[in-house]
Amino acid sequence: MTFPKIQRIVTGHDENGKSIVASMGPLPVVKELEAIPGTTFHEVWNTQGSNPLIDNGADVAAGPIILPPPTNGTRIRFVDIPPDTEDFLKAGASKMHDAFSEIGDSKASTAAGDSPHPLMHRTESIDYGIVMEGELTLVLDTGEVELKPGCVVIQRGTNHAWANRSGKPCRMLFILVDGQYAPDIANKLGP
């Protein structure tokens, strides 16, 4: 079976703290194991730190949906994103405080009158967003990137939105890792 090529999009911040595409292209390391032909590792991204407790405790995914990961923790979730509608594009920004409150993070919304998309938001986390089915557009403060199945976005705490201009639903897999802004970026972003 031939799989689609994996496209990696890594976000970052410019000198003014605005979200940008820091790099885009194929994965830097793809290695097929010589000892097991056909077994191929596709290295996407790595972080340092974190030490979660491995136990047989309660189902931690059974509680309410909260947007950001817990402190020093992670979240993994699928999100189905419907196509943008004319009404949403026109009046959606006014509903974002309520929408993000519904998922426990009212301060995540950065939507304003001049925002490039009503769903603009930011969390202090590294989020891996993988397009499973459908198509999306990653909207940043400066620029956009078309995403198709096989695209992986390394979303590094940047202001962004997911625009669905395809006319069909899109399913994304997200893995969120709690993070902390580097002091120089935190200073540019403000409170």
By the 8 A CB rule, do 136 and 101 touch? no
Report pLDDT for 60.
78
Hey, what domains does the chain have and what are their CATH numbers? 7-44+66-189 (2.60.120.10)
pLDDT digit string (tens) for 87-98?
989 888 888 888
Report pLDDT for 1.
63
Report pLDDT for 47.
76
Report pLDDT for 178.
94
List the strands of the sheet with 136-140, edge to edge.
Answer: 143-147, 136-140, 160-163
pLDDT digit string (tens) for 105-145?
989 999 988 899 999 999 999 999 999 999 999 999 999 99
Report pLDDT for 106.
87
Residue stretches of the chain with pLDDT short of 50: none
Cα dist from 57 to 20, 54, 64, 76, whole Å: 40, 9, 17, 18
Report pLDDT for 43.
86
Report pLDDT for 100.
87
- Stated as kind and residue range, the H or E segment containing 125 is strand 125-133
List the strands of the sheet with 74-81, edge to edge.
Answer: 19-26, 7-13, 151-156, 125-133, 170-178, 74-81
Give the DSSP letter of residue 92.
G
Enumerate the β-bridge partners of residue 52.
Answer: none
